[in-house]
Structure 1
């Protein structure tokens, strides 16, 4: 078995769990000193694309200067924007720089959604980064062949494999002989046994990675007979999260289109299942386990009671809230800050997402109309609120 190395920093950043990445974003949001934030369409921004790229980068520099960003921030951002993204399709750049130091430098897989950002602020808008990473999942793609196979460790938010492991078994006697009679049957059986041994080796490698990395799912592709033998050798844990796409990706000239579509479909199903599970938990006990509406969620966050914040960006609207420099991190009015310094008035979605992450709560973006009464925000609580007062509803939609 041989692992083809990937850059150590890339592998460490990609394979580490999503919680570690979330903690890094929370640490960024706990900062109270200002930073320069840029989120722009990366098309035609890199060097070598002519005057248009120079003009676009200059406009970003000018906007940062107008916002009050220091020169060393502007210089570093200009240098980064001039670098090629390495992305194959449309993408955007998301940067956070403070005191001339790069804090975030990400190429996002989508255009500038919800919009471009050029700002110098104590409360950076990280929503584009969070939206790009929503539904992020670690998964395995296993390409099986008669001689063994190859395992790819991937993350939905990363463009290339984080780890690749080759499993090579025996290759002798794998070609089916054409002679007839007893000799043919004996060699055929011998080849089948070697084939099965090779898939047993591959299955052991997959089982080990499932235990080590805990991927959300495993996709099997390659020679159809090899895939069948491989699946039969899986442990119950690996078999429970595996699915098969009938495409021989290891054959010369084969297309990976069917495999890519299968992975995209599986990721979509996972996102919907996670969302449905959270909404079901919210509704359990007639909302005894949840808070619905901005006021109720802010109160629950202030009490440290929130397990998961559910945000409907379409329904939350343009309202603003106050971002605080310390707990409770968010307030609807300065007098509700409980002594914490007020940093700024920011969009409600940013304030609530920030408060969720810095208070160690989960954050989930939900599709429109999934929350009760088209509320823009709701929260699943760590412990029930208790029975409602007789004659009153268990929850109240607050503005």
Structure 2
């Protein structure tokens, strides 16, 4: 999972103000409810000592509707100088969360981000297509304002009943469909290369869908799924089609998560390429070896929530004790203690690693934590976890 949007928090001055809020606005009453939710959160942050200027800035942001339809949330993180992260969440939080302190509340943001899928909905007919972009970036939320219209330019697209016109006219219409599909495919290839969505959802006129699908290049085809029931223009059963899109997004999330967990299981099976247990994960994080951090979902409520780690000014300076920081050359005046979840995610961000949450029992994780590695050498810890073990602890060999 890509967490580049959290990188602006690295190296920023404390204290941090973190807000998770349900910003759903279905109607005028919804706007009032959203405003009430923010006022309650603001009062809580004021009691904790959050700066008025920062709260004013956050309030101005959340007062502007995202334009997203249906239930959704928003995470805003500010440092001592102002807002650094503003992200729309595909699911609203069950309860508002407001935290003011020496570190941002990162784990809920990462968990919410795992549900986010950046995608483009491509609704085609025989004249062209509408491309609607849905992203997790506030201000580019796929609310219908971020729509591109592609017109093929070949307007002889209508066949008539057999015998009314010559076969030549019908062939000309089919040729126009193909040329228009080529124009859509060319535009889609260019825009996908520029914006790199996770998923391309193709829908619309059945014949046009087939023509566009056959014309797209390989890098579009790799992220393309077809979802029937949509159309360019009116006449779509929005609720039914929306449910199909939601199913396609859920399927993608499951594939994305399972791809990481499959790599983890494979590495465990061969005794290399993965590590588990807190000490070993910290070791490989310090060395910049981590490609994907893997956490049990239960660690959100326990384990990491109850543990603190020592960190230095740089993201990869992390350890379980002050002695670990001594070994890294970090003096006492430059070190601090952070919640383990924050420290680990911070280190992952510092090496452009992703974070994946695994259902408990889906993979064997000692201490609820593991990592898939980019590379290994002779000093990298190697372990295998027995599939039947009373205490579920690892068998560890340093190779």
Q: TM-score, normalised by structure 1?
A: 0.78
**Other-structure match for 1:309:** 293
Equivalent residue of 1:350, what SS?
helix
**Other-structure match for 2:388:** none
**Other-structure match for 1:337:** 325
Distance in 2 (CA, whole Å) between partners of 1:43 and 1:262 is: 21
- Give the alignment of 1:1-399 within 5 angstroms: 22-42=3-23, 57=38, 59-99=40-80, 101-112=82-93, 116-134=96-114, 136-155=116-135, 158-160=141-143, 162-172=146-156, 174-178=157-161, 180=163, 183-250=165-232, 252-283=234-265, 284=267, 285-315=269-299, 317=302, 318-327=305-314, 328-338=316-326, 339=330, 341-346=334-339, 348-373=340-365, 375-384=367-376, 386=378, 394=384, 397=394
Deviation, structure 1 residue 331:
2.6
Equivalent residue of 1:247, what SS?
coil
- For the 8 Å contact 2:158–2:173, the answer to whether it is kept is yes
- For the 8 Å contact 2:12–2:79, the answer to whether it is kept is no
Distance in 2 (CA, whole Å) between partners of 1:105 and 1:151 is: 24
- For the 8 Å contact 2:24–2:30, the answer to whether it is kept is no
- For the 8 Å contact 1:288–1:387, the answer to whether it is kept is no
Note closer, same or farther for the CA distance 1:209–1:259 as it changes in structure 2 (3 Å cut): farther
Note closer, same or farther for the CA distance 1:256–1:342 as it changes in structure 2 (3 Å cut): same
**Other-structure match for 1:9:** none
Deviation, structure 1 residue 310:
0.9
Distance in 2 (CA, whole Å) between partners of 1:128 and 1:87 is: 21
Deviation, structure 1 residue 309:
0.7
Note closer, same or farther for the CA distance 1:220–1:55 as it changes in structure 2 (3 Å cut): closer
**Other-structure match for 1:8:** none
Equivalent residue of 1:291, what SS?
strand
Distance in 2 (CA, whole Å) between partners of 1:50 and 1:248 is: 29
CA RMSD of superposed structures (Å): 3.6
Distance in 2 (CA, whole Å) between partners of 1:73 and 1:165 is: 39
Note closer, same or farther for the CA distance 1:256–1:75 as it changes in structure 2 (3 Å cut): closer
Distance in 2 (CA, whole Å) between partners of 1:308 and 1:218 is: 24
Distance in 1 (CA, whole Å) between partners of 2:79 and 2:282 is: 29
Aligned length: 372
Deviation, structure 1 residue 97:
2.9
- For the 8 Å contact 1:289–1:385, the answer to whether it is kept is no
Deviation, structure 1 residue 385:
5.3
Equivalent residue of 1:337, what SS?
helix
Q: Which runs of 5+ in 2 are unaligned?
A: 386-392
Note closer, same or farther for the CA distance 1:111–1:323 as it changes in structure 2 (3 Å cut): farther
Deviation, structure 1 residue 192:
1.9
Cα deviation, 1:18-40, whole Å, max 9, x if unaligned, reads 85xx3452331432421222223
Cα deviation, 1:77-111, whole Å, max 9, x if unaligned, reads 44445554544333334322334522233443322
- For the 8 Å contact 1:217–1:242, the answer to whether it is kept is yes
Note closer, same or farther for the CA distance 1:394–1:78 as it changes in structure 2 (3 Å cut): closer
- For the 8 Å contact 2:22–2:34, the answer to whether it is kept is no
Q: Which runs of 5+ in 1 are unaligned?
A: 1-17
Runs of 4 or more, structure 1, over 6 Å off, are 46-55
Deviation, structure 1 residue 397:
3.9
Deviation, structure 1 residue 315:
4.2
Note closer, same or farther for the CA distance 1:38–1:344 as it changes in structure 2 (3 Å cut): farther
Distance in 2 (CA, whole Å) between partners of 1:264 and 1:167 is: 28
Q: TM-score, normalised by structure 2?
A: 0.78
